[in-house]
Amino acid sequence: MKPQVVTFLIKCPDQKGIVSKLTHFFYQEGFNLLSAQQYTNSIDNMFFMRLRAEADEEVVLSKEQLEERFTRLAAAYDLVWHVDYGDRKQKVAVMVSHTSHNLYDLLHRHKEGKLNCEISMVVSNHTKLKPVADMFGIPFYHKPVNKDTKQEQEAALIDLFDSNEIDLIVMARYMQILSNDFINHYPNRIINIHHSFLPAFQGANPYARAYERGVKLIGATAHYATEDLDEGPIIEQDVERVTHESTPKTLKNIGADIETMVLARAVKCHLNNQIIVDNNKAIVFPETGE
Whether 134 is a known active-site residue: answer no
Strands 217-224 and 281-284: what pairing?
Answer: unpaired
* Residues 6 or more apart in contact with residue 220 via CB below 8 angstroms: 193, 194, 195, 196, 197, 237, 238, 255, 258, 259, 261, 262, 263
Q: Which helix (H) or strand (E) holds 260?
A: helix 248-271
From 230, 238, 257, 278, active-site residue: 230
Q: Please tell me whether residue 118 adopts helix, strand or coil conformation.
A: strand
DSSP 58: T
- Nearest Cα to 182, choosing from 198, 196, 169? 169
Q: Quick count: other Cβ atoms within 10 Å of Cβ 181?
A: 12
Nearest-angstrom CA–CA distance, 68 and 48: 21
Q: Please tell me whether residue 31 adopts helix, strand or coil conformation.
A: strand
Cα dihedral sign, 138-142-147-151: negative
What single-letter amino acid sits at 59? V
Strands 46-55 and 217-224: what pairing?
Answer: unpaired
DSSP H helical ranges for 11-147: 18-28, 63-77, 101-111, 130-135
Full DSSP string of 166-190: --EEEESS--SPPPHHHHHHSTT-E
Q: Across the strands, what pairs with 39?
A: 48
Catalytic sites, residue numbers? 230
